[in-house]
Amino acid sequence: MTETIMAITGPTSGIGRGTVKNLIHDFDRILLLARNLEKAAYLKQELLELNPEVQIEIIECDLSVLDSVRQAAENIKYKYDHLDCLINNAGIVSTSKEESVDGYDLMMATNYIGHFLLTHELLPLVMNSERKQVVVVSSGAYKFAPMKKPFFKPKRFNAFAGYGRSKLGTLYLAQELHEKYSRKGLKTTAVHPGMVSTNIGKSNVSPTVAGLVFKLLDPFFVTVEEGCQSVVKAVRQPEKYAGFYSDEGEIAAVKQYGSDFQMRREFIDATLEELDLEAL
């Protein structure tokens, strides 16, 4: 029987960590795409305690750096000819203007551009698997702001709009994948996991401020174990969720900017041009 393989970005914290722990018995091999190899090695030990039979491999990948993403994809393609499930989960919230090494807004680079490139590079492997699944961890924040030019190097910084646009980008990516590849068997789902108490947005503000803000908002947040269930559900039921946006596990209509087809077309085409790619 062919080995089943799952790859996940951002497995070292929060929703990604919860997801991979829940899915520990669902695949024969799990590829942990992580920028922090120490955290990934620690996670690997934890995962092997949960299931000593599973094969765990750490792949170094900084989603905010195009060369790192290309190298990670090359490493995977060199070793494997198929990938059953790709989970695009890693993400950040910046609280001040930050640029990636390639000159993009850091949130757009990490949350969207890196994942677009990774998906483009790994799609042939996904299409060569039996399961053919991509799960994108998007966010209800896609409703925060319409996409705006210049897409990847905005002149002004606004944390809410910038984060919202990067997550709108991931939603567009999921929609584009579904439109182009569902007839060939690809099952794509975009997931909003709810408001989950994780590390997101906490690393770049002082622990005192982060503690205060998150304490005030605490009643609205669910735990990581609860929050990751929507991702786990989408992975486990590819047919049910294929082509849909899952809002905390419930299939939901995509509203506002999420259904702006013209803007999606323009944004996806601009991404392809920026990355010097012909098609997704």
Ligand X SMILES: NC(=O)c1ccc[n+]([C@@H]2O[C@H](COP(=O)([O-])OP(=O)(O)OC[C@H]3O[C@@H](n4cnc5c(N)ncnc54)[C@H](OP(=O)(O)O)[C@@H]3O)[C@@H](O)[C@H]2O)c1
Instruction: Report the interface residues with ligand X, using CB under 6 A.
Output: 9-10, 12-16, 35-36, 39, 61-64, 89-92, 110-111, 137, 139, 167, 192-193, 195-196, 198-200
> How many Cβ atoms from other residues are within 10 Å of residue 154's Cβ?
18
Q: Are strands 85-88 and 133-137 parallel, antiparallel or unpaired?
A: parallel
Q: How far apart are CA 80 and CA 83, in angstroms?
A: 7
**Rounded least distance, CB 130 to ligand X, Å:** 27
Phi/psi of residue 188, nearest 5 degrees = -115, 135
Which of residues 100 and 133 has its CB atom nearest to ligand X in the complex? 100
Q: Which residue, chain included where needed, has tokens 């989603």?
A: 63
Joined together, the tokens standing for residue 271 give 């991404």
Phi/psi of residue 30, nearest 5 degrees = -125, 130
**Rounded least distance, CB 40 to ligand X, Å:** 8
Which of residues 14 and 258 has its CB atom nearest to ligand X in the complex? 14
Q: How far apart are CA 100 and CA 152, in angstroms?
A: 10
Which of residues 129 and 241 has its CB atom nearest to ligand X in the complex? 241
Q: How far apart are CA 100 and CA 103, in angstroms?
A: 5
**Rounded least distance, CB 236 to ligand X, Å:** 18
Which of residues 13 and 229 has its CB atom nearest to ligand X in the complex? 13
Q: Which residues make beta-bridge pairs with 189? A: 135, 244
**Rounded least distance, CB 135 to ligand X, Å:** 11
**Rounded least distance, CB 21 to ligand X, Å:** 13
Which of residues 15 and 58 has its CB atom nearest to ligand X in the complex? 15
Which of residues 55 and 223 has its CB atom nearest to ligand X in the complex? 223
Q: How far apart are CA 130 and CA 185, in angstroms?
A: 9
> How many Cβ atoms from other residues are within 10 Å of residue 11's Cβ?
29
**Rounded least distance, CB 113 to ligand X, Å:** 11
